[in-house]
């Protein structure tokens, strides 16, 4: 159920400018305050959006991260990674 | 007594206001919205009911309703940093309350939203269609984004209920209905285009939906538009539910005007029956 925290983090990155700046300057530290599982934390810091998607995170919300290249996620990198995710549809 | 006088369907891509600001009023997007806007001007509705799916901005996953009616005096938006002017728009709280009460009495468990703002999915259409913001709206939110989605049949029934509610409303008013959304679109999911953050994964489906709408084959469309079919057309494919609810408010009929933008996976449509 805690994948909710990943989705919430993406939303907060859009709406909370201070949090966004913190994610940008020191991502590991910014994540310390969040109730994430170790797998979620690891995947976020690695920019592993395919894994987060497979864990149930929303692709729509994850793609917010590319707006500020958070976790190294430029649009081309994000696109390449998410397209490789397992897609049950 | 009130009656429904026309219905419309348009997309709400958040980049369209900036695109039109840059390309001018001759570009295709501007012309298509202007065509729909000209019909709204001509039917002069007193109220505009808007079927919309919020994108995690009015609601979030902590509390995400399947159906919700917005009841307020005034709302503003966009609240999601879309590059466009910010507007206030009046909500017709009396009709909104009447629709919600009628719906609940008929077995539609409609959530209540008050003191809310809205994202590009309402404000982009209004920006192009009623930029003076002089027609009060009734926003009805449908979950088209977070599986499990409501069924097409249920959304159509929701539209029928809204029509009955309008027709039982004591005010003498002409009411129009607007559906906001795409038929095939993926944002941020595995079906996006290489190198981009969105894509139109199922142009064939968008073409098919457009043909069904053009022929007035609404019941065939409802049978075909299962949740899994819509989601195969993109993680935003459930926005078709807004159109299906809109179609529930009118008799099955062919549109007066419909024009697709197939490379975008959406269309612009007008349903009128006033003979003008």
Under the banding of pLDDT at 50, 70 and 90, the label for residue B46 is very high
Cα B194 versus chain centre, distance: 29
pLDDT tens-digit readout, A18-51: 999 999 999 999 999 899 999 999 999 999 999 9
Give the confidence band of A1 by pLDDT, cuts at 50, 70, 90.
low
Give mean pLDDT, residues B30-52. 98
| Neighbouring C-beta atoms of residue A56, cutoff 10 Å | 12
pLDDT in tens, B166-198: 999 999 999 999 999 999 999 999 999 999 999
**A73 in reach of chain B (CB within 8 A):** no
pLDDT of B161 > 70? The answer is yes
Cβ-defined contact of B55 to A60 (cutoff 8 Å): yes
Closest chain B residue to A65 measured between Cα atoms? B188
CA of B146: which chain A residue's CA is closest? A58
**Chain-centre distance for alpha carbon B22:** 25
DSSP, residue by residue, A67-89: GGTGGG--HHHHHHHHHTS----
Mutation site, B54, B119, B146, B190, interface A, largest A CB count within 10 A = B190
Dihedrals φ, ψ of B259, to 5°?
-140, 120
Which residues 163-202 of B are in CB contact (within 8 Å) with A?
186-198
Give the model's confidence band at B127: pLDDT under 50 very low, under 70 low, under 90 confident, else very high: very high
DSSP category for residue B60: B
Residue B229's closest chain A neighbor by CA?
Answer: A89
Beta bridge pairs of residue B175: B4, B47
Query: What is the mean predicted confidence (pLDDT) over B4-15?
Result: 98
Higher pLDDT among residues B185 and A2, named by residue: B185
Cβ B7 vs Cβ B179: under 8 Å: yes
Which ranges of B130-237 does DSSP label H, i.e. alpha helix?
152-167, 203-215, 218-224, 227-232
* Predicted confidence (pLDDT) at residue B122 exceeds the cutoff of 90: yes
Chain B nearest C-alpha distance from A22 (Å):
19
Q: Is A84 on the interface with B (CB under 8 A)?
A: yes
Summarised one tens digit per residue, pLDDT across range B195-244 is 999 999 999 999 999 999 999 999 999 999 999 999 999 999 999 999 99
The CA distance from A68 to the nearest CA of chain B, in Å, is 13
* Beta partners for residue B69, in sequence order: B112, B140
Is residue A60 over pLDDT 90?
yes
Which two structure tokens, joined as six digits, stand for A58? 């929303």
A16 touches chain B (CB under 8 A): no
Q: What value does the mean pLDDT of chain B take?
A: 97
Q: Residue B55: list chain A partners with CB under 8 A.
A: 60
The answer to whether the beta carbons of residues B270 and B5 sit under 8 Å apart is no
0.95 exceeded by the pTM?
yes
Q: Which helix (H) or strand (E) holds B37?
A: helix B28-43
Phi, psi (5° rounding) for residue B78? -80, 150
Residue A9 CA to residue A15 CA, distance in Å, equals 10
Residues of B in Cβ contact (< 8 Å) with A53: 189-190
- Tell which residue, B131, B151, B144, B157, has the closest CA to residue B184: B144
Q: Which residues of A touch B80 (CB under 8 A)?
A: 14
Q: Report the top-level CATH class of B3-272.
A: alpha beta
What does each C-alpha distance from B181 to A31, B114, B122, B223, B245 come to in angstroms? 35, 23, 10, 19, 12
Looking at residue B195, what is its pLDDT?
A: 98
């Amino acid at each position: 159920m805690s994948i909710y925290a990943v989705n919430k983090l993406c939303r907060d990155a859009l709406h909370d400018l201070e949090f966004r700046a913190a994610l940008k300057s020191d991502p590991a530290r910014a994540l310390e305050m969040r109730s994430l599982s170790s797998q979620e934390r690891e995947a976020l810091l690695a920019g592993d959006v395919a894994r987060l998607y497979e864990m149930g995170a929303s692709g729509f919300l994850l793609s917010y991260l590319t707006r500020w290249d958070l976790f190294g996620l430029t649009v081309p990198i994000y696109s390449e990674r998410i397209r490789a995710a397992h897609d049950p549809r | 007594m009130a009656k429904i006088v026309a219905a419309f369907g348009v997309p709400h891509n958040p980049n369209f206001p900036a695109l039109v600001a840059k390309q001018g009023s001759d570009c295709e997007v501007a012309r298509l919205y202007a065509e729909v806007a000209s019909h709204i001007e001509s039917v002069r509705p007193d109220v505009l009911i808007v079927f919309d799916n919020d994108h995690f901005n009015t609601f979030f996953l902590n509390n995400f309703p399947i159906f919700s009616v917005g009841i307020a005096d005034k709302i503003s938006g966009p609240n999601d940093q879309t590059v466009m002017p910010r507007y206030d728009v009046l909500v017709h709280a009396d009709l909104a309350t009447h629709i919600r009460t009628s719906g609940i009495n008929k077995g539609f468990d409609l959530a209540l939203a008050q003191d809310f703002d809205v994202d590009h999915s309402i404000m982009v259409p209004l920006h192009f269609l009623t930029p003076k913001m002089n027609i009060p709206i009734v926003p009805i939110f449908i979950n088209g984004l977070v599986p499990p989605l409501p069924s097409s049949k249920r959304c159509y029934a929701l539209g029928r209920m809204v029509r009955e509610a309008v027709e039982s409303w004591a005010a003498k008013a002409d009411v129009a209905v607007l559906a906001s959304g795409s038929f095939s679109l993926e944002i941020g999911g595995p079906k996006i285009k290489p190198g981009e953050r969105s894509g139109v994964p199922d142009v064939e489906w968008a073409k098919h939906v457009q043909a069904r709408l053009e022929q007035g084959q609404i019941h065939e469309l409802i049978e075909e538009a299962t949740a899994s079919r819509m989601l195969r057309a993109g993680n935003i494919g459930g926005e078709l539910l807004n159109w299906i609810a809109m179609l529930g408010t009118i008799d099955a009929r062919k549109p007066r005007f419909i024009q697709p933008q197939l490379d975008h996976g959406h269309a612009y449509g007008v349903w009128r029956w006033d003979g003008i």
